[in-house]
Structure 1
Amino acid sequence: MILKQKNLSELYDKSYHKNNVFEIVLIIIFAVITLIGILNHAMWRDELNGWLIARDSYSFINFFDNIKYEGHPLIWYVCLWFLNQITGNPLAMQFFHWFIAIASVSIFVIFSPFTKTQKILFIFGYLPLYEYSVISRNYGIGVLSIFIFCACFKTRHNSYLPLALILAIMANTNAYCLLISLALGFTLTIEYIFRGYFHYQTKANKYNILGASLIFFLGIFISVFMLLPPADSTLQGGASQWFFQLDFNRLTQTITRIWRSYVLVIIPSDSKPIDLFIFSFLSLGLFTFSLLILLKKPIALLFYIAVNLEILAFTYAKFLGSQRHYGHLYIILIAALWLAHYYDNSPIIIKFIDRINHRLSKITLNGYNFVYHNKKSLLLMILWLQLIAGIVAFSRDLITPYSSSQVTANFIKDNELSNHLIMGSEDFTIAPISGYLNQKIYYPESQKLGSYVLFNNERKIVNDGDIMKQMINIIAEENQDILLIMNREFMERSPNLDIEFIEKFTKSFIYNEKYYLYLVKSVPSLS
C-alpha cells in the first residue's frame, strides 16, 4: 500500500536526487494545471472580503478588530495585510495562495509514505486540486501546516520545539485546524506520558518540553481569542447561537459529513431524512473501516478518533458547514495514515480489548484482518472518487464563472461607469465587485461607502423600497447619477427617478452573485 517513509535529511542525499524525477515532474504538472485554474477563477465574496479588510482597514488596530467579525484566526489575514503593502491588486492573493498549494503538494509528494499512484490520485483530488488551491482562503495554509507537521514528526525524538511551533501556527489558520492542533497536541502528550507502553524515547528534557508547551498554548490562546466573536456579531448566530438539543435529524446530518468528506460523487440531501439515515450507516462504516486500518497503530488511532470527535461535535453544535469545512475529515484520514507509518505494529489495543471481553477481541481481530487485506482497495476507491470530483469541479470552474463579480467589474471599467457613485445590494454579495474595481461602493444596508462587510448590528436588511428612498435622498443631496448594482432584478420604480437597465450578468456558480446593473438619474423638473 505504501512506500518507505522519507526523512527530511534525504533531501541532501545524492542517491535521493537521482530518483526524484517523478516528484519534480508531478509537482510541475500540478503547478501548471492549478495556475490555469487560478488565472481563470472569478473570486467570490469569501475570498475577497478578507482582502478588502486588509486593504481598507484604516489602522492596524481597526484591522484586528475587523478580523474578529470574520470567524477566523490571524495568520491568513496578516499575510493579506503584508501583500496589500505591496499591491492593491487581488491577483497577488491568488498567486500567494497558489504558492501555498504548491508547497503543500510538494511536501506531500516528497515526504509522505504513499505510493506513486496514491500520490497522483490525492493531489489531483477535489480538495488539493480545487478547493484548497484555486479558491483563495485560509484553509490551504492550514493543510500546509498539517503536512509540515507530518513531515517533521520524527523531530520529537530530539526536541518538541519544532512541532510546537507548527501546531501554534496551525491553530491560527482556521477553526478546524485549531481542533486538529489540539488533537495533535493531546496525542503527543499521551505518547510522552505513556512512553513506556509505546516503547518511545526522546532526548527532549523538561525545559524543552516546558518551552514547547508554552509555545503551543500561546498559539491556542491567540487563536481562541481571535475566534471569540464581538458581542454584536451576527455571523452564524454570533457567540450565543449553539445547538445543544438532542435532534436525530441534526445528528444524521452531522454523521453524514464523514461520507461527504470521503466520497464526493454521491452525497445525501440534508433535506431528505431517509437519505440521511442510510448514509449515516455508510459513514459509520467508513469510520469503522478507518479505525480498523489504524488498530495496530495506537498513537495514530488516538489522533484520528480525537480529532473526528472534535470536528463532529463542533459540526453538530455550531455549524454544519460546506465541503471546505468538513473536508478536513478527509485530510485527517490522510494525516493519520501518514503518521501511522512512523510506528511499528503494536498489540496494545487488541490486548486491552481481550482483557475486557475475549469474544469482542476475536471479532475485532477478524475485522482487522479483513480490513488489512482490503485497505489498499478501499483507499484507492476513495482516492479515485476524489479525483473524479476534482476533475468535475475544476472543469466546471473553467466553463462557468464561480462568481459574476469579475466580469461585472470588467464591464464597469470598460464602459467607464466607475465614475458614477456606485450603490450595491445585497452588500456582502457586492463586496467582490469592490475588490475587483479597487474602489468603495455605497451599501444601503449600512448606509455608507464601504468595501468589506462586517456582520454586526450596524448592518440592516433592506428591501427595494428602502433602496429607492436612499437613492432619492442621495441624488437630491449629491446631485449625481448612481450606478446601481443588484444581485436580483430591481422592480421598484419612482416618478422622481429615471432607472435605466444597462446589463445583467447571470452566469455564476454562486447563485446569489449574479448581477443586474442600472443607471439611476433624477427626472428633470417640468417647471
Structure 2
Amino acid sequence: MTKELTGFKFIELLKPNKIFPFLFIFIGLLGAFNHVLWRDEMQGWLVAWRSDTWVELWQNNAPSGHPVLWSALIYLVKGFTGNPLSMQLLHWGLGSTAILCFWRWNPLPAWQKALFSFGYFPFWEYFLICRHYVLAELLTFVFCSSYPLRRRTYIPAAICIGLLTNTHAFAWSLAFAIGLALLFEWCISPLQRSTYKLNKLWHFDLFFSFLLILILAGFAAFSLFQVSDSVDQIPSLFDLRHFLRVFGRIFGGYLLIIPNYNNWLDLFVCGIITSGMLSITIAFLRRSPVALTFFLGGIVSLFLFNYFIYLGVGSRHYGYYYLMFISSIWLAIHPSNKDNSNVQNYSPRSNPFLLKLNSFFPILLTFSLAVHFGAGVHRTMYDFYRPYSAGKATAAYIKEKGWTDAEIFGSRDVEVSTVAGYLDKDFYYPEIQGYGSYAQWKKRKSLNREETLEQLQSYFEGKPSLNKALLVLSRGSSIKGLEPGQAIINGNIRILADQKFEKSWTDPERFYLYWAERLQ
C-alpha cells in the first residue's frame, strides 16, 4: 500500500501542472545565481543599498521618474545577503509567484500555459532581468486569479489597481483597464450588482475600495511628477509616421518584432498585420464584454501614452501589450463568466464574419505563444553562456589585483555604475563632477565620449596631490585601439592600458581598465 501511494505521488509530480512550474522556478533560481546585472538593474539595487532611511530612499529614487515601490521592496530585503543577490532572490520569488498564480487559476490548457511560462517576458525579461516590470506581471495575474472575489468585495481589485500605478508609468494602462472593466460590468450586469449587494457592508466595501485607489494612485502620480524631462515631444497632434511607429509596439507585443520606423513599407505592412491580429482578438473577446473592455481600455490607454507622452524603449516596454493580450484571454474564458448573463455566445447565423475571424484566434494565440517561447528559451539559456554585462568580471579582476582601495575614475557613469555596484565603491564620475555609485540623474550632465581625456586632465588638475588613478571606461570612450601594455601620453598624463573585458551581451557594458599617472 505504501509503495503504491509513493508511486501515485510520484506520478502526480510528473503532471504538467506540477512539473512545468517546478522547472520554471528551478531554472529561475539557477539563473538568479548566474545572471550578471546590467546598469538598470544595478541602479535599482544601489538606490536602495545606499539609502539609510526611508526618507533617503525617496530622495534617491525620485529623480529616476519611477514610483518607489520596487526600491522599497529592495530596501526591505537588502540586508539578507548584503549584496545584489538579495534583490535577485526577491525578484525570483515575485516572478515565481506570478507563474504559480498563472498555473493555478488560468483556465488555458497545460500546453499553452507551458508555452507562455517559458516565453520571452515571463521567463526572461520579467524574471531574470531584475526590474520593476515583474510587479506589473504579478499584480495583473493576482487580479485575474482573484477575479471571482468581485462578487463579494472589490478590495482585492482595488489593491491591485493601486499597486499597479506604483510599479511603472506604463502599468497605469493595466490599472485603467482593470478599473474600466469592473466599472463596465457594474453598469451592465444586474447579476454583479445583486450578488455584490448581498454583502451587508457593501457600501463600506465600495467606499474603502475607491479610497484605496485614490490614495495609492495619488501617491504614484506624485512620484511620476518628480521628473518630466523624459517625455517625448511629437511634432504635431497627428503624425502618421509616429502613429504607425507606436502601432508597431502592439505588433511587438504579439510577435516580438518592431518595424523599422525609417521604412514606410515596414510600418504599413506591420500596421496591416497588427490590425488583423487586433480584429481577430476582438472577435474572440466579444464572448465576454468585461474581457473585451479590459483589452480595449488597456490597449487604447497605453497607445495614447506611447503616442503623446513617452514611446518607450526596448521590449520590456511593449511587453505590456502582451500582458494585456494574455490577461484578457484569461478573463474571457474564466469559469465565473459562465454565470454572467451578459456573456455573448454569438452564432454563425448572427454574425458569420465575426465567427470567421474568431476561427483564426487559436492559430494566432498558438503562433504568438510559440514565438515568445522560442525567444524566451533561447535568451534565458544564452544568459548562462554569455553574461549580460562585463561589470561583474571587471569588478572581480579589480578585487583579485587588490585595487579596491585605489582612486577610481569612471565614465560613462550610467554604465560604469555596474562595476561600482559589484565593488560597492564610489567612483569619480565626470558626469557629476564628483563621487558616486549609481547614476544621479538630477545632477548629472551628459558628456560626449570624446571628452574623456579632457575630463581626466581636469580631474588631475583639481587634485594636485593625486599622482595615479585607475580608469574604468565603458565601450566607446575616446581612448581607442590600446591593447594591454600599450600607453599614450595626453598632456602631462601617461595612460597605460591594463585589461579589457569584452564578453558582454550589451555592447556599452564592455569595460576597459587603464592606469593614469601624472608625469613629473
TM-score w.r.t. length of structure 2: 0.89
Instruction: Report the counterpart of residue 4 of structure 2 in structure 1.
Output: none
Partner of 2:121: 127
- Which residue in 2 is equivalent to 1:226? 223
Cα deviation for residue 248 of structure 1 reads 1.0
Cα 1:298–1:19 shift into 2, 3 Å: farther
Match of 2:363 among 363, 374, 377: 377
**Alpha-carbon distance between aligned partners in 1 of 2:247 and 2:407, rounded to the nearest angstrom:** 48
Q: 2:376 aligns with which of 390, 396, 405?
A: 390
Equivalent residues of 1:192, 1:200 under 8 A apart: no
Question: What amino acid does structure 2 have at the position aligned with 1:139?
Answer: Y
**Which SS does the other structure have where 2:445 is aligned?**
coil
Amino acid at match of 2:177: A
Q: Matches of 1:101 and 1:294 in 2, distance apart?
A: 27
Q: Does the CA-based 8 Å contact 1:270-1:276 persist in structure 2? A: yes
- The CA deviation at 1:267 is 4.2
CA contact (8 A) 2:70 2:167 kept: yes
CA distance in 1 between counterparts of 2:80 and 2:33 reads 20
Name which of structure 1's ranges 51-60 and 443-452 shifts more when overlaid on structure 2: 51-60
Q: 1:127: Cα distance to partner?
A: 0.5
Q: Does 1:483 align with 2:470?
A: yes
Contact 1:55-1:81 within 8 A present in 2 as well: yes
CA contact (8 A) 1:489 1:516 kept: no
Does residue 137 (structure 1) correspond to residue 131 (structure 2)? The answer is: yes
1:118-139: CA deviation from partner (whole Å, max 9, x where unpaired): 1110001101110010100000
Mapping of residues 80-479 of structure 1, within 5 Å: 80-196=74-190, 201-202=195-196, 203-204=198-199, 205-230=202-227, 234=229, 236-237=230-231, 241=233, 245-264=237-256, 266-321=257-312, 322-340=314-332, 341=334, 342-344=336-338, 365-461=351-447, 463-477=451-465, 479=466
CA contact (8 A) 1:44 1:405 kept: yes
* More off after superposition, 93-102 vs 201-210: 201-210
Structure 2 counterparts to residues 52-71 of structure 1, below 5 A:
52-57=46-51, 59-71=53-65
Cα distance in 1 between the residues matched to 2:144 and 2:499: 51
Structure 2 alignment gaps of length 5 or more: 1-8, 480-487
> Offset at 1:61?
1.9
- Give the match for residue 354 of structure 1: none
Measure how far apart 1:84 and its partner are.
2.3
Deviation at 1:469, TM superposition (A): 2.2
In the alignment, which residue of structure 1 is the partner of 2:505? Answer: 509
Paired with 2:398 and 2:13, the residues of 1 have a C-alpha distance of 52
Aligned pair in 2 of structure 1 residues 35, 514: CA closer, same or farther (>3 Å)? same
The CA deviation string for residues 452-506 of structure 1, in whole angstroms up to 9 with x for no partner, is: 11223543525124322233225523x3421111113443842412211011112
Cα 1:367–1:457 change in 2 (3 A) is farther
Closer, same or farther: CA 331–406 of 1 in aligned 2, 3 Å:
same
Q: Note the C-alpha offset of 1:229.
A: 2.5
**Identity, % of aligned pairs?**
28
Amino acid at match of 1:473: E
Quick one: which amino acid aligns to residue 298 of structure 1? P
CA distances 1:292-323 after superposition (whole Å, capped 9, x unpaired): 11112111101110110011111112222221
Letter in 2 for 1:283: T
What CA deviation, in whole Å up to 9, does each residue of 1:430-454 have, x standing for no partner?
A: 1111111111111011111101112
Unaligned runs of 5+ in 1: 1-14, 352-360
Aligned residue number for residue 492 of structure 2: 496
The one-letter code matched in structure 2 to 1:216 is I
SS in 2 for 1:137: coil
Amino acid at match of 1:146: T
Aligned length: 493
